[in-house]
Chains A and B, each alone.
Chain A
Amino acid sequence: MTLLVQSSPRLDRVETEDAVASPRGTRRLAWGGFSVLLDRRSLAANLLLLVLVLAASLAYLCFGERTLSPAEVLAALHGTGDGLSTFLVSALRLPRLGAALATGAAFALAGCLMQTLAANRLATPGIIGIDNGATAFAVASVVGLGFGLAPPAMALAGAATATTLTFGLVLGGGTRGYRFIVAGIGVGAVFGAITNLLLARVAIDVANAAYPWTVGSLSARPEGAVWALTIGLALGLPAALALGRSLSLMGFSVSVARSLGSRLGRRRAQVLITSVALTALAVAVAGPVGMVGLLGPELARHLASRRSVPVLASALAGALIMVLADLVGRLMLSPLEIPVGIVTAVVGGPWLLWILIRPRSQGVA
C-alpha cells in the first residue's frame, strides 16, 4: 500500500530523530516536494495476490468441460490457436473470467469500505442486507416492474433503499455493535422475501431462468450490466485508493479523526456511496455473492500490513476468491454447474461462524 506523505502528521512510530526517516518496515521514495511511503509487507502482499490472480485466471481458461493446455490457451489468446480452442477461450471463458474478476473485486472492495466505515468487521454489504435490496429491485426490473429502468439502475436504487433502511433503523445506536448487524439481517430478510414474492408472480419459466441469479451465478451476465460494472470499478477503485488515508482514520473515534484533520462527514459519505454503488453494480451482473465481501477483506488483512486499510489487496483477494469459487463450481459436478454463490456460501459460512464464536470477542473490528 502506498501512502502520500505530505505535511499532515504521521501516525506511525518514527524510529530516529530525523523527521523524514521512514517507519520500520517501510521505504520512503521522495522526489520534489512529494514523497511516497511504501509498506514492504503490503507491497509483497499485493504482488503475491496479483501473481495468484494471474495463475488462477490461467487455470480458469484452461479447465472446463474440455481441458486445454496452457500453451493452447496462450495461442488462442494470441489468435494463433485452432478454431475450437479459440472459440472456447475467447467466446466462452474469457468474458466469464472478466465478469468473475470484476464482480469479485467490486464485492470485496465494497466489503472493505463498508467494514471500515462502520468500524465493524461483520458489516459487509452482503450481511447487512444491501445485496438483497439490490437483488429484489433488479428482479423487479427483470420481471417487468422496473418503471422502465434497466437492472443495473434498479439495483442501484435497491441498494440505496436497503442502505438507508439499515442505517436509518440504528440511528443513534451506532454501527459498531452486533445490533446493527441484526437490524441489517432483518432488512435483508424483508428484501429476500420481496424477491421471492416477485418471482412467484411471474411465469414459471421466467422464474426458473432468474433462479440461479438470485443465489449468485456468473452464467447469465447481462451485457449492459457488465459494462456498467466495468465503468463503476474504473471510477471506484481509484476513488477508494485516494480515500485510503481517511479510511485509516475511521478506525479511531470521531473526535480523534477530526483532530487529525479529516473531514469526516464528507469522507464517510464518499466511502458509503462508493461501497453501495459497487455492490449494486456487481449484484446486477452476478447476483448476491455477498460472502466475497467478507472473505476478500479477511484474506487481505491477513496478508497485508496492519498499518493501513488494505484497499487494493482486498480487491485483488476478492477477484482471486471469485475466480477460484467459480472454477470449482464449474468443475465439481460437471456438466452440472454449481452457482458461484453456493460455493462461496459453503466456504464462507464456517468462516463467519468462526468469527462469531471465537474465544475472545474479536467479532467487532
Chain B
Amino acid sequence: MIASAAHRRLAGQGMTLAGLLLLACLASLLWGAGDVGAERALAVLMGHGDDEARFVVGTLRGSRTLVGLAVGMALGVAGALLQAVSRNPLAEPGLLGVSAGSAFAVAIALLLGTSAATLRVGVAQLGALLGCLCVLGVARFRGLGHDPVRLVLAGAAFSGLLAALTTLLLLFDQRAADEIRFWVVGSLSGRQLADLLAILPSFAVAAAITLLIARPLAALALGERLAAGLGHHPGRVRLLAILVVALLVGGATAIAGPIAFVGLVVPFAARALAGPDIRRSLWLCLLLGPLMVLVADVISRRVVAPSELPLGVLTALCGAPVLVAVVRRRRLPML
C-alpha cells in the first residue's frame, strides 16, 4: 500500500516534470538569438510560415533542442550514478574532473591532427573513463571516499590542472585552438543532427547497462557487505557504473563541451523529490536533466541577444549556490 502510494506520487511528479519539459522544448523552438521571433516560429509549428523561419526552427533550433535533450539526460543520469558509486552527494562529473579529462583527450586528439566527429566521441569517452578512474582510484586508495568534501577538493584541483594543460596544448596549435575555443566553454549552439547521431549508439549501450545495474546500485547504498549478502557483486557493479558514467559524460562533452554542475543540481533535486532510492530518482533525473539544460540554453540565447552566452556560464551560476548550500549543511548525508 505504501509502495503504491509512493509510486503514485512518483508518477505524479513525473507527469508534472514531463509537462514542464515539453514547455521547455517549445520555448527552445520559439525563442532564439536571431530575428525569427516567437510568432513566426509558432506559424511554422502550425504548419505554415516562410522558408527562412522554417529553416531556423526546423533545422537549427530543432536539432539544437534534440541535442539539449540528449546532453541533459546524459549529464543528469551520469551525476546520479557517480554519486551512487562514490556514495558522495557532491560527486559531480564536472567537479571531479571527468569532463576535464575528456576535454583534455579531445585537445590531444585535435593536436595530433584528427578532426572526424565520430573519432572525437570515442576519444572523449576514453578521456572521461581515465579521468573517472583517476579520481575514484585515488579516492579509494587514499581513503578520501570517507570525506565527501575532500574528494571534491581533490577533484577540483585535478580539474583545474587538466584545464590548464588543455589551454597549454591549444597554444601549440592555432588551428586546433580556433576549432575548440567555443567548444571548450560548453555550448549547444550550432550543433547538428549528425553530431547527435554519432553519440546515440553509446548512449543506448549506457541506458541498457544502467537498467541492469539499477537494482544492485540501490543495494549498494545499504553498504558493501549487505549488497554482497543480497547476491550482488559490488566491484563489478561499480566498474560498470563507472563505464556508463564515462560513456555518458564523454558523449555529452564531445557534443557540447564540458558543462559543469548539471550532474550536481539534477540528482540533488531528484533526491529531494523522490527520496534516496536510486531506482526512483534516476527516472526523475532523466526528466530534470534536459529540463535544466534546455531552460539554461534558452536563457543563454536571450540575455545577450543577438550574441550568445556559453551554456556552462549559466549552469555554473545556478549550480555553484547549490554546491555551497549542500556543503553548508552541518551533517552531509552519506549516500
Nearest-Cβ distance from residue A73 to partner chain B, whole angstroms: 28
Nearest-Cβ distance from residue B189 to partner chain A, whole angstroms: 12
Which of the residues A186, A201, A336 comes within 8 Å of B304, measured between beta carbons? A201
Q: Is B154 close to A, CB under 8 A?
A: yes
Nearest-Cβ distance from residue B38 to partner chain A, whole angstroms: 23
Chain A residue contacts of B138, Cβ below 8 A: 357
Chain B residue contacts of A215, Cβ below 8 A: 167
Q: A182-B153, A349-B160 are in contact. Are A336 and B171 (CB under 8 A)?
A: yes
Distance A356 CA – B156 CA, assembled complex (angstroms) = 11
Nearest-Cβ distance from residue A199 to partner chain B, whole angstroms: 10
Distance A336 CA – B167 CA, assembled complex (angstroms) = 13
Distance A182 CA – B168 CA, assembled complex (angstroms) = 26
CB of B309 within 8 A of CB of A200, answer: yes
Nearest-Cβ distance from residue B163 to partner chain A, whole angstroms: 8
Instruction: Using C-beta atoms within 8 Å of the partner chain, give the interface range for chain B.
Output: 35 or more
Distance A200 CA – B187 CA, assembled complex (angstroms) = 12
Size of the chain A interface, CB-CB below 8 angstroms: 37
CB of A179 within 8 A of CB of B164, answer: no
CB of A182 within 8 A of CB of B164, answer: no
The B contact surface, by secondary structure, is helix
Nearest-Cβ distance from residue A265 to partner chain B, whole angstroms: 24
Distance A186 CA – B265 CA, assembled complex (angstroms) = 13
Nearest-Cβ distance from residue B298 to partner chain A, whole angstroms: 16
Q: A353-B158, A356-B150, A356-B157 are in contact. Are A200 and B171 (CB under 8 A)?
A: no
Distance A173 CA – B325 CA, assembled complex (angstroms) = 13
Nearest-Cβ distance from residue B56 to partner chain A, whole angstroms: 21
> Which residues of chain B from 120 to 168 have a CB within 8 Å of any chain A CB?
138, 142, 144, 147, 149-150, 152-154, 156-158, 160-161, 163-165, 167-168
Nearest-Cβ distance from residue B141 to partner chain A, whole angstroms: 8
Distance A342 CA – B166 CA, assembled complex (angstroms) = 10
> Which residues of chain A from 280 to 339 have a CB within 8 Å of any chain B CB?
333, 336, 338
CB of A200 within 8 A of CB of B160, answer: no
Distance A359 CA – B142 CA, assembled complex (angstroms) = 7
Q: A178-B147, A186-B323 are in contact. Are A345 and B160 (CB under 8 A)?
A: yes
Nearest-Cβ distance from residue A333 to partner chain B, whole angstroms: 6
CB of B324 within 8 A of CB of A169, answer: yes
Q: A182-B323, A193-B316 are in contact. Are A353 and B154 (CB under 8 A)?
A: yes
Q: A186-B320, A201-B304 are in contact. Are A342 and B168 (CB under 8 A)?
A: yes
Chain B residue contacts of A353, Cβ below 8 A: 154, 157-158, 161
B316 to A, closest residue via Cβ: A193
Which of the residues B154, B165, B307 comes within 8 Å of A357, measured between beta carbons? B154
> Which residues of chain A from 337 to 365 have a CB within 8 Å of any chain B CB?
338, 342, 345-346, 349-350, 352-353, 356-357, 359, 363
> Which residues of chain A from 186 to 231 have a CB within 8 Å of any chain B CB?
186-187, 189-190, 192-194, 196-197, 200-201, 215
CB of A190 within 8 A of CB of B317, answer: yes
Chain A residue contacts of B328, Cβ below 8 A: 169-170, 173, 179, 183
Nearest-Cβ distance from residue B334 to partner chain A, whole angstroms: 15
CB of B168 within 8 A of CB of A338, answer: yes
Q: Is B321 close to A, CB under 8 A?
A: yes
Q: Is B180 close to A, CB under 8 A?
A: no
Chain A residue contacts of B160, Cβ below 8 A: 345, 349, 352
Contact with A along B249-268 (1 / 0, CB 8 A): 00000000000110000000
Q: Is A109 close to B, CB under 8 A?
A: no
Contact with B along A145-158 (1 / 0, CB 8 A): 00000000000000
CB of B327 within 8 A of CB of A179, answer: yes
Chain A residue contacts of B150, Cβ below 8 A: 178, 356, 363
Contact with A along B309-333 (1 / 0, CB 8 A): 1101110110111011001101000
Chain B residue contacts of A349, Cβ below 8 A: 157-158, 160-161, 164
Chain A residue contacts of B277, Cβ below 8 A: none
CB of A181 within 8 A of CB of B310, answer: no
Chain B residue contacts of A194, Cβ below 8 A: 317
| B-binding residues in A (CB < 8 A) | 122, 169-170, 173, 177-179, 181-183, 185-187, 189-190, 192-194, 196-197, 200-201, 215, 333, 336, 338, 342, 345-346, 349-350, 352-353, 356-357, 359, 363
- Interchain Cβ contacts under 8 Å between A and B, 12 examples: A173-B330, A178-B150, A185-B156, A189-B320, A190-B321, A196-B312, A201-B304, A338-B168, A342-B164, A342-B167, A342-B171, A353-B154
> 3 smallest A-B Cβ distances: which pairs?
A349-B161, A345-B164, A186-B324
Known: A349-B158, A352-B160. 6 other contacts (CB 8 A): A196-B185, A197-B317, A342-B167, A349-B164, A353-B161, A363-B153
